[in-house]
Structures are given as C-alpha cells and as structure tokens.
C-alpha cells in the first residue's frame, strides 16, 4: 500500500497570540489579510517544508499538498511553489498534489508547463490531482460557479492532450482557445504523471473519475458514508466495463501519535483549535453557506452519502437549499437532525475515529480497523494541524517512522491493499 503525510499548513503560532491554542472563530472569507504577518508566514512555510522533509526521512511514501485561497486555515494558495521546492530538496517520496483547482485557471497551458517542470525536477515523483474547488475559490478568483464543472473537464482534457500529443496544435473549446499549443516542458513520466481525484460529496465527480479509471481519494469523511461512496465508484466502474480495486481507493484521516496517552490527547485536541479547516465538524469557524453552496457549483441532486457530514459542518449558517439537498441525497430526517445538532466535539470525533490519537500501541489497532473497513490502497495521515506546534509534529512523525508505518505496511500486506503503484488502474 501507499502511505502519505498531510497537513493543511494553517497560519498559526502560539507565540504570536493570533489563532493560538485557545483559538478564535473564523468566518470564512471574513478575515482581513491586514492581520497577516509575513515574518510569521515565512517561519511557518519553512516549518512545514522541514516537517515534510522529515516525513520522507521517517519513511512516508508520499507528501501530500492541497490548495485553498484567501483563508488562514490553509497557507497553500500556490501549492505548485511548495511542490517545486520539495521536488528539489527531497529524494524518494512522491509529491502528491490533491490538488490544483482547475476551474479557476484561465490558462491551463501554464499549469501543464508548471506540473511538467515539477515532474522533471523530481525525476518522475509527481502525482497530480485536480479538484473543482469550493465556493471560496470561485469567489476569491472571480470564477463563475455555473461553469465550474464544464471548465474542470475541459481543462483536464486539454492538459492531458498537451502532455501527450506532439505539437504544435490548435485547441478550440467551449471555455479555452489556443492558436498554438506546443509546450517545450513535457512530463518526465510516460505518458504523464498519475492523476488522482480527491473529493467529499459530488457524485458527478466520482462517476467521472471512475470513467477515467482514476483513483478517488475521500478526504476525512466518516467511515460508513465513505464506504458507500466507494461502492458507488464500484458501480460506476462496472458500468464502464471494469472491476475497480483497492488501487482506486484513497483515504485521508486524522492521526496523531505521541509518547504518552496524555501528550497524545493534549496535542490531538489542537486539531479543533486554531484555524482548523472550518468545513470539518467540530473545528472553529463559521461556514457561509451562501458562499460554500454557490448556485451552479455542485448539483444539489447528485450528492454522495458523505453530504450529511457537511450538513453538520454548515449547520451554523446553512440554507434551506442545503437542507433540501441532504434530503434529496437520501438522508433520513432523524439522521439529518443528528448531523445538524452535531458539531463534533473532540470526544465525539474520537469515538467515531474521525480523529485517531494515542501511543503507537493504541493507534495501530484503530488504524487497522479503518483499513479493514474501507480497504483503501492509499492512505494519508493528517497531522500537525490546527494549533499543533512544530514539536507536536516532530514527535508524532518520529513515532510514525519508528513504529506505526512498519505496522501499517504489514497490515496492508495482510489485507492485500494494493496501491496504484502496485496494481494497474487501467
């Protein structure tokens, strides 16, 4: 199996007094960058890069980067810069981008060139992934949400063609037009880097990924609806004439390991402090539903079972349309109310394994349960987030390398969990 490391790279530091361990509510797209300190930002960017280098030393197969815009919970607004740096300063780990927000790119040829250079500098270690983005990204970059899905698909088709078809050629599309396509930078990997698609709630995206035979990575969603979403992928794969396997399943989950149970609990509580991702239940922050659920961005009738988790996350400001969407997605009234009332305390998230924490001895059996239940061929451990400091991250990474990763590899082997690098996705 394939094991990766991830953090949102939040803008936080206890010493600054801003978004420290006590935290502060975040209203999405409501925090002015007038409070931003570039000197603290410089420290944090370098901290997160150092931690990823250490993650490679500890034996992680992949270093995952993501992208969000105009928000303190994720400093990865230009993840390709971070990826390019990692391409040069790391040696073995895959650089997994999950991913670039395709619909906000007005010039996808530029993106094709950037990614090709990263793949060459890393000598073929890039895994590229593309997302449709949230309402935040559409607002922050003036992208029209009704065209989000169309632009995503056309940009994908264009980039793959630019990577694989000798130029020059013309491209006359609905949203992109080029008189001359002939990028001198082409990917190191043939025919191009693997493409993985992350997501949380769109059936259309899952069906499209299955048609392309791309691995689909569920992002920190609850176990039962995640399994149902994988089953939907399987159904779509069968309709497209093939049987999907563990190589088509990826999963991101929050796991923190520490030297004692007391240290582990204290650090893991920081997941829901500071500028944690406000879209995940229990984290500090208010989601503006009228931004998150922009008209035309996501089909209200084509939602995965995981939508109930996002009903919980949006409960503080959700709209009647979102309530209707959860009902149309098949959420029972009782379950919807439970999701609405449930803002995910630390204890509740721990009980349902949305957050796993402890010493290696107590963490490994919980991770084993997740792997047995979901059977993903690729798993990403999400750590060092919220209000966690550098020391929290480094202790956890060391214990991952010494005890957890070897055990997880054995579990993966015993369950025959093959990654896209071990079994073909085609």
* Alpha-helix runs per DSSP H in 187-306: 203-212, 223-239, 261-268, 289-292
Whether residue 425 is contained in a domain is answered as no
Alpha-carbon distance of 172 to 182, in angstroms, equals: 15
Lowest mean pLDDT segment, chosen from 81-90, 191-200, 292-301, 358-367: 292-301
Dihedral sign, CA of 80, 84, 86, 90? Answer: positive
Alpha-carbon distance of 324 to 51, in angstroms, equals: 42
Lowest mean pLDDT segment, chosen from 224-233, 269-278, 297-306: 297-306
Whether residue 358 is contained in a domain is answered as yes
pLDDT for 12 equals 83
Total domain count, the chain: 1
Q: What is the mean pLDDT of residues 391-398?
A: 98
Alpha-carbon distance of 357 to 367, in angstroms, equals: 10
Alpha-carbon distance of 154 to 177, in angstroms, equals: 11
pLDDT digits (tens, 9 = 90+) for 101-145: 999 999 999 999 999 999 999 999 999 999 998 878 888 888 888
Whether residue 173 is contained in a domain is answered as yes
pLDDT for 35 equals 80
Alpha-carbon distance of 276 to 385, in angstroms, equals: 7
pLDDT for 135 equals 79
Q: Are 9 and 68 in contact (CB under 8 A)?
A: no
Q: Are 306 and 298 in contact (CB under 8 A)?
A: no
Whether residue 45 is contained in a domain is answered as yes
Q: What is the pLDDT confidence band of residue 321, given thresholds at 50, 70 and 90?
A: very low
Q: Are 184 and 116 in contact (CB under 8 A)?
A: no
β pairing state of 216-219 and 195-199: parallel
Alpha-carbon distance of 289 to 311, in angstroms, equals: 10
Where do we find the tokens 């349309």?
A: 321
Taking alpha carbons only, the member of 60, 68, 69 closest to residue 95 is 60
Residue 254 maps to which CATH number? Answer: 3.20.20.30
Whether residue 298 is contained in a domain is answered as no
Q: What is the mean pLDDT of residues 6-18?
A: 77
Query: What's the residue count for the chain?
Result: 426
Alpha-carbon distance of 197 to 212, in angstroms, equals: 10
Q: Please give the mean pLDDT across all residues of the chain.
A: 87
The CA-based dihedral angle spanning residues 383, 384, 386, 388, taken in that order and rounded to the nearest 10 degrees: 140
Burial track 181-212 (b if 16+ CB lie within 10 A, e otherwise): bebebbbbbeebbbbbbbbbbbbbbbbbbbeb
Q: What is the pLDDT confidence band of residue 19, given thresholds at 50, 70 and 90?
A: low
Q: Which domain holds residue 222?
A: 2-278+350-414
Cis peptide before 191 (omega within 30 of 0): yes
The number of helix segments (H) and strand segments (E) in the chain equals: 16, 12
Which residues are within 8 A (CB) of 399 and not within 5 positions of it... i.e. 6 or more apart? 257, 258, 259, 359, 360
Q: Are 50 and 80 in contact (CB under 8 A)?
A: no
Residues forming a β-bridge with 217: 198, 250
Whether residue 242 is contained in a domain is answered as yes
Assess whether pLDDT exceeds 70 at residue 100. yes
Whether residue 365 is contained in a domain is answered as yes
pLDDT > 70 in the chain, percent: 83
Whether residue 94 is contained in a domain is answered as yes
């Amino acid at each position: 199996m394939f094991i990766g490391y991830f953090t949102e790279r939040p803008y936080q530091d206890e010493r600054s007094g801003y978004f420290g361990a006590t935290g502060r509510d975040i209203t999405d797209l409501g925090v002015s960058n007038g409070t931003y300190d570039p000197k603290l930002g410089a420290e944090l960017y370098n901290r997160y890069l150092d931690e990823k280098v250490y993650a490679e030393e500890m034996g992680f197969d992949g270093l995952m980067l993501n992208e969000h815009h105009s928000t303190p919970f994720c400093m990865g607004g230009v993840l390709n810069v971070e990826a390019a740096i990692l391409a040069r300063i790391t040696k073995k780990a895959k650089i997994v981008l999950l991913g670039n927000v395709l619909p906000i790119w007005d010039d996808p040829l530029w993106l094709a060139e950037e990614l090709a250079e990263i793949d060459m500098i890393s000598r073929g270690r890039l895994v590229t992934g593309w997302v449709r983005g949230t309402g935040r990204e559409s607002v922050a970059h003036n992208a029209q949400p009704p065209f989000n899905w169309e632009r995503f698909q056309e940009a994908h088709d264009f980039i793959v063609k630019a990577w694989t078809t000798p130029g020059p050629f013309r491209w006359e599309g609905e949203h992109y037009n080029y008189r001359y396509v002939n990028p001198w930078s082409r990917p190191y990997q043939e025919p191009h880097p693997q493409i993985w698609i992350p997501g949380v709630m769109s059936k259309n995206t899952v069906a499209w990924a299955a048609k392309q035979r791309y691995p689909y990575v569920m992002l920190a969603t609850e176990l039962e609806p995640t399994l149902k979403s994988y089953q939907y992928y399987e159904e779509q794969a069968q309709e497209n004439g093939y049987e999907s396997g563990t190589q088509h399943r990826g999963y991101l989950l929050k796991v923190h390991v520490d030297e004692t149970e007391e240290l582990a609990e204290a650090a893991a509580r920081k997941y829901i402090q500071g500028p944690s991702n406000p879209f995940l239940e229990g984290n500090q922050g208010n989601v503006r539903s009228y931004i998150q659920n922009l008209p035309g961005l996501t089909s209200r009738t084509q939602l995965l079972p995981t939508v109930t988790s996002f009903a919980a996350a949006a409960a503080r400001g959700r709209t009647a349309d979102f309530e209707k969407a959860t009902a149309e997605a098949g959420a029972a009234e009782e379950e919807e109310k439970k999701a609405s009332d449930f803002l995910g305390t630390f204890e509740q998230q721990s009980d349902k394994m949305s957050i796993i924490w402890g010493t290696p001895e107590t963490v490994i059996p919980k991770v084993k349960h997740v792997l047995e239940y979901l059977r993903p061929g690729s798993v990403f451990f999400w750590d060092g987030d919220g209000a966690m400091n550098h020391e929290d991250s480094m202790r956890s990474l060391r214990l991952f390398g010494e005890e957890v990763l070897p055990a997880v590899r054995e579990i993966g082997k015993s369950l025959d969990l093959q990654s896209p690098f071990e079994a073909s996705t085609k």
